[in-house]
Amino acid sequence: MRPLSWRDAKVRAAVLLAAALVISAWTGKIFLDMHEPEPIVAGPGVTEQKMLSDYGSAVGAGDTPVYILEGEEPGGTLLLIGGTHPQEVSGLLTAVLVIENVRVKQGRIVVIPQANRSGFTHTDPLEGFPHKFEIETPHGVRWFRLGMRLANPVHQWPDPDLFVHRPSGERMVGSEARNLNRNHPGRARGRFVERIAFAIAQVIRKEGVKIVLDTHEAYPEYPVINMLVAHEGAFDVGAFAVANLQERDIQIDLMASPKRLHGLSHREFGDHLGVRALLVETANPAMGRLRGRTDERLVVEGRDDNYVRAAKLDRLFVPFTAEGHPLSGRVARNMATLEEILSAYNEFEPDSPIIVEGLPSYDAVREQGLGPFLLPVPAASR
- Measured distance CA(61)–CA(135) in Å, rounded: 27
Full DSSP string of 55-93: GS---GGG--EEEEEE-SEEEEEEEEE--SSTT-HHHHH
pLDDT for res 29: 76
Q: Is residue 270 classed as helix, strand or coil in its secondary structure?
A: helix
Q: Are 269 and 204 in contact (CB under 8 A)?
A: yes
Domains of the chain, each with CATH number or no CATH? 37-381 (3.40.630)
Cα separation of the two ends of the chain:
57
Length of the chain (residues): 382
pTM to 2 decimal places: 0.95
Dihedral of the CA atoms 29, 33, 35, 36 (nearest 10)? 150
pLDDT for residue 382: 61
Looking at residue 173, its pLDDT comes to 97
* pLDDT value for 3: 74
Q: How many CA atoms lie within 13 A of 83 on its CB side?
A: 29
Inter-CA distances, 326 with 30, 210, 213, 222, Å: 27, 32, 21, 18
Given a contact cutoff of 8 angstroms between Cβ atoms, the answer to whether 289 and 246 are in contact is: no
- What pLDDT shows up at residue 2? 65
* Sequence-distant (≥ 6) Cβ neighbours of residue 188 within 8 angstroms: 57, 195, 198
pLDDT tens track of the chain, all 382 residues? 667 688 877 888 888 888 888 887 877 777 677 788 889 999 999 999 999 999 987 899 999 999 999 999 999 999 999 999 999 999 999 999 999 999 999 999 999 999 999 999 999 888 888 999 999 999 999 999 999 999 999 999 999 999 999 999 999 999 999 999 999 999 999 999 999 999 999 999 999 999 999 999 999 999 999 999 999 999 999 999 999 999 999 999 999 999 999 999 999 999 999 999 999 999 999 999 999 999 999 999 999 999 999 999 999 999 999 999 999 999 999 999 999 999 999 999 999 999 999 999 999 999 999 999 999 999 766 6
Q: What is the DSSP code (8-state) at residue 149? A: S
Q: What are the CA-CA distances from residue 45 to residues 69, 103, 251 (Å)? A: 6, 4, 30
CA distance 98 to 139: 18
CB atoms within 10 A of CB 13: 11
Q: What are phi and psi of 54, to 5 degrees?
A: -70, -15
